Chain A
Amino acid sequence: MRRGISAGFTTYLLRDDLTETTLFVEDRALAAAMLARDRKAAAEFVQRFTGPLAGYVRSRLQPRWEDVDDIVQDTFLTALRSIHNYRGDAPMRAWILGIARHKVEDHYRERLRHSVVPEETADSELIEDPGMDALLDKVSSEERTASILRVLPEHYRVVLLWRYWEQRSAAEMAEMSGKTVKGVERLLARARDEFGARWRGKQKEAAA
């Protein structure tokens, strides 16, 4: 099954199929069975949620897929340890994806912690916009975005994904990564510049 994460994490959760109250009852039963250490419930837990978790984590780590399996497994182990906190008032899928989001952010924080914040330079934020008209063609826009994200230096990719797809503010990112807000903003500005330049490059290629 393929899904899109169109406007950040919240939208992804809202697009969940499991929004019927009756299904939360199933989720509660599954949680209760897990707490009773039912081995087959653990299998059901894995069968139901590995796909959504792997899909979400892959989309947020691209192209560093080598870390995906570890993060997914770590998410499951954390979920198991905190299954008593699942109250069944929301889909279990949303609950476990929330745990995965924290794991992805841990990964971002770790990556960002070791990146060098660029020196302050002249503001390049007011350069001409890279061409929103390209967004009219959604498919090529998605492909272009993904292909640019894949080739960006890792710390640029991480800050862009964290800021715009996970919708965290520069202040939150700074707090989580131990960097200054100014530092994160400078990194974001560089990352945006780089992304914009590559976007325009691809646009020229397409036009030629």
Chain B
Amino acid sequence: MNLDQWMAELAAETPLEVNEQASSCLKSKIYSALILALEEDGPLLPLPETKKAGRALCVFEQLVEILPAPDAVQSLQYCKVCHAKALGERLENAPIYWPGCPYCEFQNR
């Protein structure tokens, strides 16, 4: 057996271990980047429609959602000004506990 065949066999027989755990900071940063990209492309789905689709809203989004506000307001991304985003992007196991908040749900607790 030459080295080429040997390496091919070795690779076939030898898994490279994959740990599928991701840090909550990474998830938070990616989520922020995705939302930014979505917003650049157009308005987000208004909060009432998001709720209608069966998605959980956080307490701040719920407050906006019950307001008789136009779609332009309902489509804003309120996470941008929330401390949960700042903490989620910087701290593992961040002390944030709002139900319906993506940054809380990203925590590996």
A contact set with B: CB distance below 8 Å? 1-8, 12, 33, 36-43, 45-47, 50-56, 58-60, 62, 69, 72-73, 76-77, 80-81, 125-127, 129-130, 132, 135, 138, 141-142, 145-146, 160, 163-165, 167, 188-189, 192-193, 195-196
Q: Are A46 and B19 in contact (CB under 8 A)?
A: no
Q: Are B33 and A76 in contact (CB under 8 A)?
A: yes
Apart from the given pairs A80-B38, A192-B4, A195-B7, 14 other A-B contacts in the complex at a CB distance below 8 Å: A1-B19, A7-B12, A8-B12, A39-B79, A50-B22, A50-B27, A51-B20, A55-B18, A58-B19, A72-B22, A125-B4, A132-B6, A164-B10, A189-B3
Would you call B93 an interface residue if the criterion is a C-beta within 8 Å of the partner chain's C-beta atoms? no
Would you call B37 an interface residue if the criterion is a C-beta within 8 Å of the partner chain's C-beta atoms? yes
Q: Are B3 and A192 in contact (CB under 8 A)?
A: yes
B contact set with A: CB distance below 8 Å? 1-4, 6-22, 26-27, 29-31, 33-35, 37-38, 41-45, 50, 53, 55-57, 77, 79, 102, 105-106
In the complex, what residue of chain A is closest to B31 when comparing beta carbons?
Answer: A46
Known: A1-B21, A164-B8, A165-B11. A42 touches B38 (CB 8 A): yes
Of the candidates A39, A55, A125, A165, which one forms a contact with B3 in the assembled complex, judged by CB atoms under 8 Å apart? A125
Roughly how many angstroms separate A66 CA and B42 CA in the complex, as a whole number? 32
Of the candidates B2, B18, B56, which one forms a contact with A3 in the assembled complex, judged by CB atoms under 8 Å apart? B18
27 interchain pairs (CB within 8 A)? A2-B17, A8-B12, A36-B45, A39-B44, A39-B79, A40-B57, A42-B31, A47-B102, A54-B20, A54-B26, A55-B22, A59-B18, A73-B29, A73-B33, A76-B30, A76-B33, A80-B37, A129-B3, A130-B3, A132-B1, A132-B10, A141-B13, A141-B14, A142-B16, A164-B8, A165-B11, A192-B7
Q: Are B26 and A69 in contact (CB under 8 A)?
A: yes
- A61 to chain B minimum Cβ distance, whole angstroms, is 10
Q: Are A193 and B18 in contact (CB under 8 A)?
A: no
Q: Are B45 and A51 in contact (CB under 8 A)?
A: no
Chain B residues with Cβ below 8 Å from A76 are: 30, 33-34
Roughly how many angstroms separate A59 CA and B6 CA in the complex, as a whole number? 21
Q: Are A55 and B7 in contact (CB under 8 A)?
A: no
Chain A residues with Cβ below 8 Å from B105 are: 43, 47
Of the candidates B14, B19, B31, B45, which one forms a contact with A38 in the assembled complex, judged by CB atoms under 8 Å apart? B45
In the complex, what residue of chain A is closest to B29 when comparing beta carbons?
Answer: A73
Q: Are B4 and A42 in contact (CB under 8 A)?
A: no
Q: Are A59 and B16 in contact (CB under 8 A)?
A: yes
Roughly how many angstroms separate A81 CA and B41 CA in the complex, as a whole number? 10
Q: Are B13 and A52 in contact (CB under 8 A)?
A: no
3 smallest CB-CB distances across A and B, nearest first, come from: A4-B15, A43-B102, A164-B11
